[in-house]
A and B are shown apart, each in its own frame.
Chain A
Amino acid sequence: MELKEKLVSSFMAFENMVDIDSPVHDIRTEAIKNFEIEGFPTKRQEAWKYTSLNSVLKHDYSVFPKHENALEYKDVKKYFIHEIDCYKIIFIDGKYSSHLSQTTHDGIDVCLMSAALSKPKYRLVIENYFNKIASKDGLSSLNTAFSAEGAYIHIPKNKLVEKPIQIIHFSTGNEAALMLQPRNLIVVDENSHVQIIERHQSLTDNPVLTNSVTEIFTNKRAIVDYYKIQNDKKSASLIDNTFVNQKQESLAKVHTFSFGGKLIRNNLNFYQNGERIDSTMKGITIIGNKQHVDHNTLVHHIEPNCESHQDYKGIFNDNATGVFNGKVIVEKEAQKTNAFQANNNILISDKASINTKPQLEIFADDVKCSHGCTIGQLDESAMFYLRSRGIPEKEARALLMFAFSNNVLDSVKIPAIKNRITKIIANKLGVSIGFDL
């Protein structure tokens, strides 16, 4: 049976596991109908021209894991940012692990989507925010239809949450192939600030496909710092659909670090509903072998005096392929918009490729918008310079790659994350030196 049919027919079984009388279930029912119409995207669609899902859709995925699994913290500690105190929302094969998690209801809610969807105290927030900005495309609809579990974070106004929140989805390989539909909702009220780290980590060579939807709401003057660490096994693929709705004077920053996984597609969308909003998205992609990473970004400038900043760096080796498609829409009312976009790439091998495409739709006349993309090789004269100082070829190459990605690393405000990313990169490049940039 095709995966699409399997998913649609699984919906009835899913209904036995959730509360079908809740208002959310109407949204799910609507969504499965929508998925049935839309299906999975194909290369015939403009937004998917350079990314084919065929190779990841061919597996016979389990939609609901049959077994409950447990993991010992010591065995998976290395996937945590364990150097600093964090709240933790941890899932194993899609199921919440209370053993590995550290949630809270002390002034803020850092807990589970399943709880938020079922308990009356969350009803108002769910009514106001759930599925309000997720798009109606096939993949997001699929996630909405099966939305049952994920992270629920609500920060009421005037709270500076000092501890970052880590969301990690582990998959253990007890299923021959597993498909996950995590659903996250993050609501940050006036003047509050939160930092979130998200990671999807497979512990198996069995295929895993994650189709995740995250809705983020930053209300007036709220600040959200979001870090996505994508360094999964080569059998694991990720479709990340993230939607950020911003109110006036809010600041949302998303860093995406893509180093591992078979296929990664990041659909990252910002909607600016207010003045003096800042939306920032930065990314470092370093891949090789036959890996594929596709960044599809959207910033929708709706009101005046707002800014957006995009800065994505990519390094591609072997047969790796990359895509960057950055869309910026500036509505007629959105005067005095500053929108910047940069995508710089280095191809290490002759067989690697990157398709980069800025897409600017500007309807206002008093704006500053810029975009630039580059594709190049490592600078040979710089290589000679470094090597002539005694730095061996491999290390010299790594040093230049660090230098190339440095301005993105530099904007990471949590030192433990910056150190971890630096280590992952050094490891990826096969060098032992921490350049300590």
Chain B
Amino acid sequence: MLKINNLHASVEDKPILKGINLNVKPGEVHAIMGPNGSGKSTLASVIAGKEEYEVEEGEILLDGENIDELGPEERAHQGVFLSFQYPVEIPGVSVTNFMKTAINETRKAKGLEDMPANEMLKMIREKSEMLEIDRKFLSRSLNEGFSGGEKKRNEIFQMAMLEPKLAILDETDSGLDIDALRIVANGVNKLKSKDNAVIVITHYQRLLDYIVPDYVHVLHDGKIVKSGSKDLAHELEAKGYDWIKEEVNA
């Protein structure tokens, strides 16, 4: 589904990603771990199409098509979803109206009519119940005054509404207490199917107890330096990242 070949990317001429290779197939969960500053969030943003990053070399293929020239909205229409580490506050736009706009713009791009209002309401009800989100929460302004946990839960709610093919969760566990973490992880697990894939970006192994990865990759200095099974995550949790750095430097 997602194939990344030798991806180099920079921001303001500063190279961040220095040759990433990654192959994600439908039904798989990949975890990308690594120390701060290794390029994890940059990778997530580059896949989602953030324009301030310059792709210098390599390619990102989604279902075999190069998506380099596509804007973020076009990638979203193709089924890419990024759960933000720091979701942006949009005062004056309610969660519900934001979702209506997002869904109907995506449908419009696919040549479909707007989703009928009753269908939309039913979907909102189902998905918010799944994530144990209070109805009142949905009429609040998007992310404005939300706690860290509420923001992350709202990201997963958006994911549930948009039903992406490829979901990238960027540090979704940060700022979550253990109950919220469980609810969010359950939500992600319920949305998983043999046709979609998830990339979990995290610094800690904690989230991976709930969203169990098929593969774990370690990112260091803009490159994937080690890949393995979920056991690698436990090893990193126990030993930290230093041994990886030493291994790379040796």
Which A residues are closer than 8 A to B by beta carbons? 379-382, 384-393, 395-396, 399-400, 402-404, 406-407, 410, 433, 435-437
Contact = CB atoms under 8 A, between A and B. Distances in A.
Nearest to A403: B92
A302 B233 CA distance: 70
Contacts of A403: 90-93
B88 A379 contact: yes
Contacts of B228: none
A395 B101 contact: yes
Most chain B Cβ neighbours within 10 Å, of A379, A402, A437: A437
Nearest to A392: B73
Contacts of A402: 92-93
Interface in B45-67: 45, 48-52
Interface residues of B, number: 35
Contact of B97 (A380, A396, A400, A437): A437
Nearest to B107: A390
A437 B93 contact: yes
Contacts of A382: 88, 90
B49 A392 contact: no
A385 B91 contact: no
Contacts of A407: 91-92
Given A384-B48, A389-B98, A399-B90, 19 more contacts: A379-B88, A382-B90, A384-B45, A384-B51, A385-B84, A385-B90, A387-B49, A387-B72, A387-B73, A389-B102, A390-B162, A392-B71, A393-B73, A395-B105, A403-B91, A433-B104, A435-B101, A436-B100, A437-B94
Given A380-B52, A437-B97, A388 B92 contact: no
A436 B73 contact: no
B160 to A, nearest CB: 13
A397 to B, nearest CB: 12
A388 B48 CA distance: 7
A135 to B, nearest CB: 36
Contact of B49 (A381, A386, A388, A395): A388
A436 B97 CA distance: 7
Most chain B Cβ neighbours within 10 Å, of A379, A385, A391, A404: A385
Given A384-B51, A399-B93, A437-B94, A390 B87 contact: no
**Nearest 7 CB-CB pairings of A with B:** A406-B92, A390-B76, A387-B72, A390-B106, A389-B102, A403-B92, A385-B88
B90 A387 contact: no
B30 interface: no
B82 interface: yes
Contacts of A410: 92
A52 B104 CA distance: 46
A356 B143 CA distance: 30
Contact of A400 (B72, B81, B90, B106): B90
Contacts of A404: 92
Contact of A388 (B72, B94, B98): B72
13 contacts: A382-B88, A384-B48, A385-B88, A388-B49, A388-B73, A388-B75, A388-B81, A389-B73, A389-B76, A390-B103, A391-B105, A403-B91, A436-B100
Contacts of A433: 101, 104-105
Given A384-B50, A391-B101, A437 B92 contact: yes
B116 to A, nearest CB: 16
Contacts of B50: 384
Contacts of A393: 71, 73
B90 A391 contact: no
A392 B92 contact: no
Contacts of B93: 399, 402-403, 406, 435, 437
A385 B101 CA distance: 13
B196 interface: no
B77 interface: yes
A282 to B, nearest CB: 14
Contacts of B82: 388
Given A385-B84, A433-B101, A390 B91 contact: no
A255 B76 CA distance: 39
A390 B112 CA distance: 14
Nearest to B97: A436
A400 B141 CA distance: 12
Contacts of B42: none
